[in-house]
């Protein structure tokens, strides 16, 4: 049975027993609690184990690609030295989410291996967790495994995904390759007993503090190593001898010129090449690319480790692309996407190999010098220099040193790294305020893939590859779906030269994101700021990137419109007009320029007319890329302050306007539609700003103005054309009505004054009265009117103009010895306030109108009047 046969046999066995067949998940897991790389078949089912989601099937089976480098399960150091460790492997598994448990899992596993796969029961051993009597009893009593072939173990029989997360006791199946009686797998740590299947009884969730919480349900999670099971089925000594590895080792033999089996140390190297070939191929296929951070660093280490092995084996030429090719030839039947991505993967590893080869020799000789000088330890600064200047991952330095029984000063290396991180953080802050590591990632992306291929001059929708998906800087957990997506090619224009970034969608086979804006993360690298609305989008996927075409068309109209406006302004105002900034958005354009004074309405009209004449002439717009000198000869205007390269893009917008520009434009001037200036004003000394609209925005504005005018005409009951006359007529009517009102009010005050004055003669020319509802000013007006009546010496009026307010006014006629302010001083205190000091006409206010009568009585008393 070959590998393809075994994958099929395994999944169909379980499919026949009610299991849904799940495809392999990517190597980059998405669950927040998942490890760095998918390290087991169960990773993709985390939400089901943790009770976060209801599984669509209670029984599932799969063949899962796994990587075990870094984290709890890290096999890299053993690779090549044992018969069964790999950085990349495939795990066959079956799962029960709250369905069958120990008995079901054990019975299914036994049936498959002894019946369908035909392994001799006498060669099978099992282990159980030290306290798991239940599992031991099932093996012994239900399955019939002799008690002496059931062994118990501690930590080895307690499987955990990582330092935290789902875990549980497990039971493992072993195949005995030996002859005669043996000690069993727990007592033999050699290669006689092959552990090929692990049945985990997943019951707990390990917390960060180490405690175990019960999972909502009791589950089964099994993992059978495809390579190990295959070695048993094919009756070979080790995984390396199976059909999954022999062709890769053969490729390594061909590339190095060494024969496998001749020298144990060379064999280790050949096996490492075969192993790393698979992991690098699959990692790049799933969107990891070599960088100095996280997953990218692991890949970088892997590729460089392989390159160094090859170098040691005498290989001078690039080896990784041919290793990738051999891997794909071998695996594409099971993983067809490898074939689709083949040239991409080969390119990524080839570039990384090339980079490393350029410093490998110098790094190795530096290290060799240290080692042959008898260094007992590789110092931190040396390890750092190897890393920083020669591209040696410290793990590689450590391995090479260990071959000579020398160690690396890890603390010294860590300190040197920390110092560099601090420095680059400071540098990063100074540069653009981006976070240091993020900026580094952007640089890595550019270095790895070159600048983004902007295809938006020709295409609105493109097929592209997702290079990376990064969380938006500073996004918190609830915004995890806010991401920055990087593509190898894109129709999305990144904000620049005044033109705002495009919006639209990015879709892959597994997800859809809305692009909210596009900017340059670093020059040349288009960053799509997006929110993932459906599923997931992962690096490595093929994507369809589509811009919002209507919005972009509106932007095009405004951009070419801006060029025409620039030209027309120079025609009308003179060549001193220089663009000082612009904003090209879908709904309008803004153009800032140098000019010494406000534009007259005639100048504005002339500019509009010139621009619209060109638009109606409908001349073509074209773009040419030419050397800078050629652009100057063409008379192209450059936007002051903008940086341009040696080769520049010149936009000829019709026969008159020629400008350097990287933006997107219409194909012919007629597409701009009507251009209308909506405002012109100053933004500083000799700097003016114009807002204008084009296309449908001009029409929208026209409609809006029409509506405003229509409503005004309706209110005035006039035709729109007669609006001005109607307004003039209404204003005249208003003025005469206001005059009439004023006269009437004055007459009313005089009437009241006469009435109040009528009573004065009885009081010796004094009037003290209350009038509510009049404010201070009205009270004063009334008081002075009363004072003007014959025989009146003094007037004091009080009243409450509004709730909580009291007002007092005193007016004294000329020739009396009374002082107005004195008259109401006490009264003002009574109503809780104070007032003016004027002797002829005094006003006071307070906030206790309830005591107004009392206050007025005090005035009467002061004047010697009867109350």
Helix (H, G, I), strand (E, B) or coil at 39: coil
94 versus 508: smaller Cβ distance to ligand GLY: 94
Min dist. Cβ of residue 494 to ligand GLY (A): 43
Whether 173 and 197 have beta carbons less than 8 Å apart is answered as yes
**Footprint (CB under 6 A) of ligand GLY, residues 313-342:** none
Of the residues 37, 45, 159, 492, which one makes contact with ligand GLY according to CB under 6 A: 159
Residues of span 654-683 touching ligand GLY by CB under 6 A: none
Task: Tell me the sheet residues that pair with 822.
Answer: none
Nearest to 584 by CA among 570, 568, 604, 564: 564
Looking at beta carbons only, is 198 or 242 nearer to ligand GLY? 198
Minimum CB distance to ligand GLY smaller for 172 or for 352: 172
806: phi then psi, degrees, rounded to nearest 5 = -130, 140
The verdict on 221 binding ligand GLY (CB under 6 A) reads yes
Which C-beta is closer to ligand GLY: that of 105 or that of 830?
A: 105
Candidates 6, 22, 34, 42: give the one binding ligand GLY (CB under 6 A).
Answer: 42
> Residue 159 Cβ, how far from ligand GLY at the closest point, in Å?
5
SS in 3 state form for 775-817?
A: CHHHHHHHHHHHHCCCCCCEEEEEECCCCCCEEEEEEECCCCC
Q: Which residues of 718-741 are buried (b: 16+ CB within 10 A; e: fewer)?
A: beeeeeeebeeeeeeeeeeeeeee
Q: Which is nearer to ligand GLY, 74 or 781 (CB)?
A: 74
Minimum CB distance to ligand GLY smaller for 72 or for 837? 72
Contacts 24+ apart (CB under 8 A), 116-121: 116/9, 116/13, 117/1, 117/9, 117/229, 117/233, 119/175, 119/232, 119/233, 121/145
Which residue's CB is nearer to ligand GLY, number 159 or number 204?
A: 159
User: Does residue number 200 form part of the binding site for ligand GLY (CB under 6 A)?
Assistant: yes
Closer Cβ to ligand GLY, 29 or 535, answer by number: 29
Q: How far is the CB of 34 from ligand GLY (least distance, A)?
A: 13
Q: What is the DSSP pairing of strand 158-160 with strand 150-153?
A: unpaired
Please identify, using beta-carbon distances, which residue of 200 and 307 lies nearer to ligand GLY.
Answer: 200
In contact, 589 and 558? CB cutoff 8 Å: yes
User: How much is the CA Rg of the chain, to the nearest whole Å?
Assistant: 44
Instruction: Report if residue 695 touches ligand GLY, rule: CB under 6 A.
Output: no
Q: Which is nearer to ligand GLY, 202 or 338 (CB)?
A: 202
374: tokens are 């008898």
Pick the closer one to ligand GLY by CB: 42 or 328. 42
Beta bridge partners of 64: 91
Q: Should residue 22 be labelled a site residue for ligand GLY when binding is judged by CB under 6 A?
A: no
Are the CB atoms for 293 and 333 separated by under 8 Å? no
Min. distance of Cβ 72 from ligand GLY in angstroms?
A: 10
- In the complex, the smallest distance separating the C-beta of residue 201 from ligand GLY, rounded to whole angstroms, is 11
Which of 234, 230, 227 has its CA nearest to residue 271?
227
Residues whose CB falls within 8 Å of the CB of residue 591, separated by 6 or more in sequence, listed in order: 562, 565, 566, 569, 579, 582, 689, 690, 692
Kindly state the smallest distance separating residue 198's Cβ from ligand GLY, in Å.
Answer: 4
Q: Which of 6, 28, 40, 792 binds ligand GLY (CB under 6 A)?
A: 40
Write down the least CB distance from residue 695 to ligand GLY, Å. Answer: 60
Q: Are strands 511-522 and 504-508 parallel, antiparallel or unpaired?
A: antiparallel
- Closest Cα partner for 386 from 404, 360, 410, 411? 360
Residue with tokens 């790895």: 448
Q: Which of 87, 151, 198, 281 contacts ligand GLY by CB under 6 A?
A: 198
- Enumerate the β-bridge partners of residue 466: 487
Q: What is the dihedral of CA 295, 300, 306, 312, to 10 degrees?
A: -150
Give the helix/strand (H/E) hosting 268. helix 264-285
Residue nearest to ligand GLY (CB): 223
Q: What are the E-state strand segments in 431-588?
A: 453-454, 461-471, 482-487, 489-490, 504-508, 511-522, 525-535, 542-547, 579-584
- Indicate the SS3 state at residue 458: coil
CB of 68 to ligand GLY, least distance (A): 9
Q: Least distance to ligand GLY from the beta carbon of 197, Å?
A: 8
Least distance to ligand GLY, CB of residue 122, Å: 25
Instruction: Compute CA distances 771 → 379, 430, 668, 725, 782, whole Å.
Output: 99, 72, 77, 44, 10
Considering beta carbons, is residue 156 or 848 the nearer one to ligand GLY?
156
223 binds ligand GLY, rule: CB under 6 A: yes
CB of 40 to ligand GLY, least distance (A): 4
Rounded to 5°, angle at Cα 718 from 717 and 720: 130
DSSP result, 222-253: EEEEHHHHHHHHTT-SSGGGSTTTHHHHHHHH
Size of the site for ligand GLY (CB under 6 A): 7
**Smallest gap from residue 169 Cβ to ligand GLY (A):** 12
DSSP annotation string for 382-411:
HHHHHHHTT---HHHHHHHHHHTT-EE-HH
Smallest distance from the beta carbon of 106 to ligand GLY, in angstroms?
A: 15
Q: Which residues pair with 483 in a beta bridge?
A: 471, 530
Which CB atom, from 101 or from 691, has the smaller least distance to ligand GLY? 101
C-beta atoms surrounding 523 within 10 Å: 11
Residue 124, beta-bridge partner list: 175
CB of 518 to ligand GLY, least distance (A): 41
Cβ proximity to ligand GLY: between 13 and 159 the closer is 159
Q: Which of residues 121-140 bind ligand GLY (CB under 6 A)?
A: none
Residues numbered 229-248 forming contacts with ligand GLY, rule: CB under 6 A: none
Q: Angle 246-256/264-285 helices, nearest 10 degrees?
A: 110
Q: Report the sign of the C-alpha dihedral through residues 30, 33, 37, 42, in that order.
A: negative
The Cα-based distances of 104 to 14, 94, 99, 131, 453 in angstroms read 12, 11, 9, 19, 55
Binding letters toward ligand GLY, positions 576-605, x by CB under 6 A: ------------------------------
Task: Note whether 782 binds ligand GLY by CB under 6 A.
Answer: no
In angstroms, what is the minimal distance from the CB of 64 to ligand GLY? 9
Of 166 and 391, nearer to ligand GLY (C-beta) is 166
Nearer to ligand GLY, 64 or 658 (CB): 64
Beta carbon of residue 522, minimum distance to ligand GLY (angstroms, whole number): 40
CB 285 to ligand GLY: min, Å: 22
Judged by beta carbon, residue 111 or residue 156, the one nearer ligand GLY is 156
Position 162 contacts ligand GLY (CB under 6 A): no
Closest distance between ligand GLY and the C-beta of residue 43, in Å? Answer: 9
Beta carbon nearer to ligand GLY, 159 or 384:
159
List interacting residues with ligand GLY (CB under 6 A).
40, 42, 159, 198, 200, 221, 223
């Amino acid at each position: 049975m070959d590998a393809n046969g075994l994958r099929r046999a395994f999944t169909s066995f379980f499919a026949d027993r009610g299991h849904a067949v799940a495809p392999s998940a990517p190597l980059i897991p998405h669950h927040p609690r998942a490890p760095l790389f998918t390290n087991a078949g169960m990773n993709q089912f985390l939400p089901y184990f943790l009770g976060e989601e209801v599984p669509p099937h209670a029984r599932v089976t799969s063949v899962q690609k796994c990587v075990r480098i870094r984290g709890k399960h890290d096999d890299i150091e053993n690779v090549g030295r044992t018969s069964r460790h790999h950085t990349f492997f495939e795990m066959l598994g079956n799962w029960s989410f709250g369905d069958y448990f120990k008995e079901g899992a054990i019975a299914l596993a036994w049936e498959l291996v002894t019946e369908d796969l035909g392994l001799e029961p006498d060669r099978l051993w099992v282990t159980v967790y030290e306290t798991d009597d239940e599992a031991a009893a099932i093996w012994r009593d239900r399955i019939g495994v002799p008690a002496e072939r059931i062994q118990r173990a501690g930590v080895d029989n307690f499987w955990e995904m990582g330092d935290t997360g789902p875990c549980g006791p497990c039971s493992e199946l072993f195949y005995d390759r030996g002859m005669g009686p043996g000690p069993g797998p727990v007592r033999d740590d050699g290669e006689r007993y092959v552990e090929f299947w692990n049945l985990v009884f997943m019951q707990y969730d390990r917390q960060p503090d180490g405690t175990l919480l019960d999972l909502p349900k009791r589950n089964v999670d099994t993992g059978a190593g495809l390579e190990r099971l295959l070695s048993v089925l094919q009756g070979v000594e080790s995984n390396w001898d199976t059909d999954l590895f022999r062709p890769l080792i053969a490729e390594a033999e061909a590339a190095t010129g060494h024969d496998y089996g001749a020298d144990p140390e060379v064999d280790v190297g050949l096996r490492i090449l075969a192993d790393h070939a698979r992991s690098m191929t699959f990692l790049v296929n799933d969107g990891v690319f070599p960088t100095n951070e996280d997953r990218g660093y692991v890949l970088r280490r892997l590729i460089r480790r392989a390159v160094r092995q090859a170098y040691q084996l005498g290989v001078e030429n690039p080896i990784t692309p041919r290793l990738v090719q051999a891997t794909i030839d071998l695996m594409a039947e099971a993983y067809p996407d490898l074939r689709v991505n083949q040239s991409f993967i080969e390119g990524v590893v080839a570039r990384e190999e090339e980079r490393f080869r350029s410093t490998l020799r110098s790094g190795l000789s530096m290290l060799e010098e240290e080692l042959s000088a008898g260094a007992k330890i590789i110092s931190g600064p040396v390890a750092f220099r190897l890393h920083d200047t020669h591209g040696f991952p410290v793990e590689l330095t450590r391995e090479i040193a260990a071959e000579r029984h020398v160690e690396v000063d890890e603390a010294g290396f860590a300190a040197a790294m920390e110092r560099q991180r601090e420095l680059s953080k400071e540098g990063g802050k100074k540069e653009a305020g981006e976070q240091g590591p993020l900026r580094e990632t952007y640089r890595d992306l550019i270095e790895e893939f070159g600048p983004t291929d902007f295809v938006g001059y020709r295409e609105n929708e493109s097929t592209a590859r997702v290079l990376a998906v990064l969380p938006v800087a500073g996004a918190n957990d609830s915004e995890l779906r806010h991401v920055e997506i990087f593509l190898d090619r894109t129709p999305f224009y990144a904000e620049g030269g005044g033109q705002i970034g495009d919006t639209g969608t990015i879709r892959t086979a597994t997800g859809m994101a809305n692009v909210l804006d596009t900017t340059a993360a670093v020059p040349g690298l288009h960053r799509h700021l997006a929110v993932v609305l459906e599923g997931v989008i992962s690096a490595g996927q093929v994507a369809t990137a589509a811009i919002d075409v209507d919005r972009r068309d509106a932007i095009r109209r405004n951009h070419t419109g801006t060029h025409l406006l620039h030209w027309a302004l120079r025609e009308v105002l003179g060549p001193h007009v220089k663009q000082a900034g612009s904003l090209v958005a879908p709904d309008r354009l803004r153009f800032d320029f140098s000019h010494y004074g406000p534009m007259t309405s005639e100048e504005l009209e002339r500019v509009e007319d010139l621009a619209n004449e060109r638009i109606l002439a409908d001349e073509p717009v074209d773009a040419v890329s030419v050397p800078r000198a050629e652009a100057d000869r063409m008379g192209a205007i450059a936007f002051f302050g903008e940086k341009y390269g040696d080769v520049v893009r010149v936009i000829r917008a019709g026969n008159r306007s020629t400008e350097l520009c990287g933006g997107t434009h219409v194909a012919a001037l007629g597409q701009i539609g009507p251009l209308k200036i909506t405002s012109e004003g100053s933004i500083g000394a000799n700097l003016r700003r114009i807002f204008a609209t084009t296309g449908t925005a001009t029409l929208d504005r026209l409609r809006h103005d029409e509506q405003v005018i229509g409503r005004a005409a309706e209110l005035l009951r006039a035709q729109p054309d007669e609006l001005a006359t109607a307004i003039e007529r209404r204003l005249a009517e208003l003025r005469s009505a206001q005059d009439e009102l004023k006269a009437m009010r004055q007459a009313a005050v005089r009437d009241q004054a006469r009435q109040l004055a009528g009573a004065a003669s009885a009081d010796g020319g004094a009037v003290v009265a209350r009038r509510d509802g009049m404010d201070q000013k009205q009270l004063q007006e009334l008081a002075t009117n009363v004072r003007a009546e014959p025989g009146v010496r003094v007037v004091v009026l009080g009243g409450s103009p509004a709730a909580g307010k009291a007002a007092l006014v005193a007016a004294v006629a000329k020739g009396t010895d009374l002082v107005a302010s004195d008259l109401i001083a006490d009264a003002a205190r009574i109503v809780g306030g104070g007032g003016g000091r004027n002797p002829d006409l005094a006003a006071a206010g307070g906030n206790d109108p309830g005591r107004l009568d009392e206050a007025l009585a005090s005035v009467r008393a002061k004047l010697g009047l009867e109350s």
